[in-house]
């Protein structure tokens, strides 16, 4: 993946997915994942529906390859929260702001 800038930051996987959706006219209304993923998406669409399904107990490790202990939602609870948030997102579709068009086309190589 090539590095691109958007809103003054290097765009990673989530940013590229959001950029692709924006270029294709697909609205972004919901995301679930770890706290970092949710924050990255909210940087582009602050009012989207979210569910944080896991969170690191601490964020600093001695080695980048060391496992980070996580607190995860139980699967049943995660499914319940995701289903409810996705339903709210679809109901709120017209009112959720969308990201601006990116200054690059993620579909071009």
Write down the pLDDT at residue 57.
80
Report the C-alpha gap between 102 and 34 in whole angstroms: 24
In the chain, which stretches have pLDDT less than 50? none
pLDDT tens digits, residue range 2-15? 567 776 777 888 98
Write down the pLDDT at residue 6.
77
Write down the pLDDT at residue 102.
87
Write down the pLDDT at residue 2.
58
Pick from 39, 47, 53, 52: nearest CA to 93:
47
Spatial neighbors of 34 by CB under 8 A, at least 6 apart, are 52, 53, 54, 55, 56, 70
Taken in order of first residue, the domains within the chain and their CATH numbers are 5-95 (3.40.50.10780)
Spatial neighbors of 99 by CB under 8 A, at least 6 apart, are 18, 19, 22, 28, 44, 45
Write down the pLDDT at residue 56.
82
């Amino acid at each position: 993946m090539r590095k691109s800038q958007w809103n003054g930051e290097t765009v990673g996987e989530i940013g590229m997915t959001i950029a692709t959706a924006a270029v294709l006219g697909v609205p972004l209304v919901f995301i679930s994942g770890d706290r970092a993923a949710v924050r990255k998406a909210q940087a582009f669409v602050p009012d989207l529906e979210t569910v944080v399904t896991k969170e690191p107990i601490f964020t600093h490790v001695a080695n980048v390859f060391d496992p980070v202990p996580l607190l995860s939602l139980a699967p049943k609870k995660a499914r319940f929260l995701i289903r409810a948030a996705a339903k709210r997102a679809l109901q709120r579709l017209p009112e959720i702001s969308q990201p601006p068009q990116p200054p690059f086309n993620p579909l071009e190589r």
